[in-house]
Chains A and B, each alone.
Chain A
Amino acid sequence: MNNLILRTIAKRTFYLFVAFSLYLLFRGHNLPGGGFIAGLLTVAAIVLQYLAFDIKYVQKLLPIDYINVAVMGLVLATLTGIGGMFLGYPFLTQAFDYYTIPIFGTVELATALLFDIGVYLVVIGSVLTIISAIGDEKPWNS
């Protein structure tokens, strides 16, 4: 099938989608956004590659096992929750502070961001596992 237009658009918009999802991830905990929707957008970017190309191409592009990504994210989110318990606070207590970084100026660094990155990885891993498991079936009409 000659889908040159779709392939060109898929190649060009991949980085745009990922950049927008990272933007949503890093502004997450104060404004609309967060780990879940950022993960869904990254999944959308990768699924667009699946649609325009094929499974072989995406496996060459991202040679990772998606279930490992989900497990890593879950471990990261859980460790972020447990981290507060060592200091005597309840589970999932979050902390934040303001730091001055040379280029960016004063930024707010929160441990909620680490939790959000965990959620992001869990969403990417689990949704891509589901989609690649469903998509790897035999076609229904051929």
Chain B
Amino acid sequence: MDTIVDVSLVLLSISLLIAFYRLVKGPSMPDRVVALDLIGVILIGIMALFSIKFVSKNYFDAMLVLAILAFMGTTAMAKFLVKGVIIDRDSD
């Protein structure tokens, strides 16, 4: 079990690096937004593995908070890319 968790941590770290490469290099803005969202999801997975490795329940709340904030960021960036304005004064 410990070996599996360690191997998964290494794999997730490698995918974090790949996502970070896309974040820096990404030719267009949507690439960077998707890379940021992917980094958030990978961080949640790393925290879940930590909570298995250290047998602790305290990581769950941090995972929820990170999921909510990553969702907010992705939504705001998507709306900015589509409409050019994040907060409407008076929609439709």
Contacts and interface: CB of A to CB of B under 8 A. Distances in A.
B53 interface: no
B68 to A, nearest CB: 6
Interface size class of B (residues with CB under 8 A): 20 to 34
A56 B89 contact: yes
Contact of A142 (B69, B84, B86): B84
A106 B65 CA distance: 29
A90 interface: no
Nearest to B58: A32
Given A1-B83, A139-B84, A142-B85, A53 B62 contact: no
B89 A55 contact: yes
A20 interface: yes
B15 to A, nearest CB: 26
B90 A55 contact: yes
Interface size class of A (residues with CB under 8 A): 20 to 34
Interface string A5-44: 0100000000001001000100000011100010011001
A51 B61 contact: no
B51 to A, nearest CB: 12
A43 to B, nearest CB: 9
A1 B81 CA distance: 13
Interface of A: 1, 6, 17, 20, 24, 31-33, 37, 40-41, 44, 47-48, 50-51, 53-56, 131-132, 135-136, 139-142
Interface of B: 58, 61-62, 64-65, 68-69, 72, 75-76, 79, 82-92
